[in-house]
Amino acid sequence: MILRPPPSRSRSARRLGAAGVAGASAVLLTGCFSADPGAAGGDGGTGGRIEVAMLQPPRSGLSPLSDDAFKLSRWSTAETLVRLDEAGEAQPQLATDWQQLDGTTWSFTIRDGVTFHDGTALTADNAAAALQHAANASPAPRILDGVQMEVDAEGDTVRVTTAETDPLVPQRLSSPQLAILAPAAYEGTAVDPVGHGTGPFELTGVDGTSGATLDRYEDHWNGPAAAAGIDVSFVPDGTARAAALRTGEADVVEAVPVGQAARIEQDLLQEVPMPRTNTVYLNTEQGPFADPAIRAAAREALDPGAVVEGVYEGRADEAAGLLGPAIPYAAAGRDAGAYRTALADRAQPEDPQGRKITIGTFTDRAELPEVAVQLQQQLEAAGFEVDLDVREYQYIEADALEGEFDAFILSRATVLDSGDPVAYLVSDFGCEGSFNLSQFCSEAVDAALDRAEKATPGEERRAAIMEAEAAILAEDAAIPLLHERVIQGEQSGVAGAARDPRERELVTAETTVAE
């Protein structure tokens, strides 16, 4: 990749660098998504630049084939054929419409009048080439893990063919890792996003792991953005990010630490529910929790509300199921009669009578060791004898996957890149699941997961997902504790910043900051 140094940074960006050095020595899910990309563009105003402090620097040179793609998406510089709405349904972006031609073939019509930031016109040919480049990459983008995909152009359409029937092809194409960049981006050994996107902001410079500069792209297909540009600083230190918000050095701040929140004016903090659940996985294959009645005893003993208040200072949501408020249909799905009937058949708890259990967790997420201590106290009060095993994740993952613990506490993303929770449910609770910490296998659950995998996106799939959740909880394979929130900082003059639980959007065409 060719990295061009950014132009002279504004006052706030320069101060953020100092804040980073010094640091080293509740609005919920509303307005996250535009109703229609055709109404998303700004009016081409003369708004000022937006200063953004981000949590992590690039890890792969801002390659769109890596997790760095989510930065390009959050800066509105790289766009995909499809975007997702709040419910996870596919909506037009660089493709205006699509249809499924047969069980494995989809056709996407490319939007007319789109240009890349280097002036090249978007065509079906270069869109297909970009997608095929991603499909051929090694390692493959995470969204294509296990998916064989061939892409070609036909007239003004892109044709996508998969080896197996996949009802989520449009949702997959919404992943930031499948952004469409100009042909010149693919000429070197690495994919170069600088000056090669189609979004309302052009990435004009990257300063290593320090920052990035983006300028308004005046010829965006939906009209110019409201702000003149974005100045990004990468500030891994949480104290420094909080200080940048508190002192006004940054307009928008990613991931303000819970421990810093009390020191900041509360009207500058926006709490966004995340599709991430803290869950206790119970070993259903061996040990005390192989007995459904003892699993039920653990479920009855745990008090998630105390964990939310004691560890997360109230900045999390007590879990009603595996899927939290970031999944907008989950709560309503639990009102269905079939869901309630499934849970009514749960095993009844028995006295654990001093049974000894070992709970594992890891230190990489700062809250989890404290969560483990609280759960230890709650379970011991109910009659269990509890030992804790807490290590760094890299040293404990293999043991957890092998079923070496009676229980394991994990903070788990429940919606992966397709915006759909089925992959998570299959991975964690399917008999052949690749991340089955509970060593769990149930014919009834596998049947429910199979129905969910095959269901058409929309109401049918949502109902099948909730049916699968109920089947899993009915057997107490896992005890969901809480759903995390991320705290996003915004200065009082900021308007239109996205509060996106999937962390795909942040600064959009509508975002402005008062001068």
Locate 71 and state its tokens.
Answer: 């930065």
pLDDT number for residue 257: 87
Q: Are 346 and 476 spatial neighbours (Cβ–Cβ below 8 Å)?
A: yes
Task: Please indicate whether residue 300 or residue 8 has the higher confidence score (pLDDT).
Answer: 300
The answer on pLDDT for 242 being more than 80 is: yes
Q: How far is CA 131 from the centre of its chain?
A: 21
Q: How far is CA 56 from the centre of its chain?
A: 15
What CA–CA distance (Å, rounded) separates 76 from 70? 10
What CA–CA distance (Å, rounded) separates 338 from 470? 9
> How large is the average pLDDT for residues 132-150?
88
Structural domains in the chain plus CATH codes = 11-251+491-513 (3.40.190.10), 275-484 (3.10.105.10)
pLDDT number for residue 2: 33
Q: What percent of the chain has pLDDT over 90?
A: 75
Locate 387 and state its tokens.
Answer: 């030992």
pLDDT in tens, 411-441: 998 986 777 899 899 999 999 998 999 999 9
The answer on pLDDT for 1 being more than 50 is: no
| pLDDT interval class at 27 (50, 70, 90) | very low
Average pLDDT, the chain: 89
Q: What percent of the chain has pLDDT over 70?
A: 91
The answer on pLDDT for 6 being more than 70 is: no
| pLDDT interval class at 145 (50, 70, 90) | confident
| pLDDT interval class at 59 (50, 70, 90) | confident
Residues 6+ apart with CB under 8 A from 226: 42, 43, 44, 45, 47, 496, 509, 510, 511, 512
CA distances from 498 to 10, 68, 251, 270, 505 (A): 23, 18, 13, 10, 6
Q: Is 16 helix (H, G, I), strand (E, B) or coil?
A: helix
Q: Is 215 helix (H, G, I), strand (E, B) or coil?
A: strand
What CA–CA distance (Å, rounded) separates 222 from 200? 8
Q: Are 278 and 475 spatial neighbours (Cβ–Cβ below 8 Å)?
A: no
The burial of 337, by beta-carbon neighbours within 10 Å (0-12 exposed, 13-18 middle, 19 or more buried), is given as exposed
Q: Are 20 and 222 spatial neighbours (Cβ–Cβ below 8 Å)?
A: no
Question: Residue 247: what are its φ and ψ, rounded to 5°?
Answer: -95, -5
Residue from 409, 456, 138 nearest 283 by CA = 409
pLDDT in tens, 356-375: 999 999 998 889 999 999 99
Q: Are 360 and 400 spatial neighbours (Cβ–Cβ below 8 Å)?
A: yes
Q: Are 246 and 237 spatial neighbours (Cβ–Cβ below 8 Å)?
A: no
The answer on pLDDT for 265 being more than 90 is: yes
> How large is the average pLDDT for residues 240-264?
92
| pLDDT interval class at 45 (50, 70, 90) | low
| pLDDT interval class at 251 (50, 70, 90) | very high
Pairing of strands 47-54, 82-84: unpaired
Q: Can you spell out the DSSP letters for 299-352?
A: HHH--HHHHHHHTTTT-EEE-SSSS-TTSTTHHHHTTSHHHHHHHHTPPPP---
| pLDDT interval class at 142 (50, 70, 90) | confident
pLDDT in tens, 173-217: 999 999 999 999 999 788 999 999 999 999 999 998 899 999 999
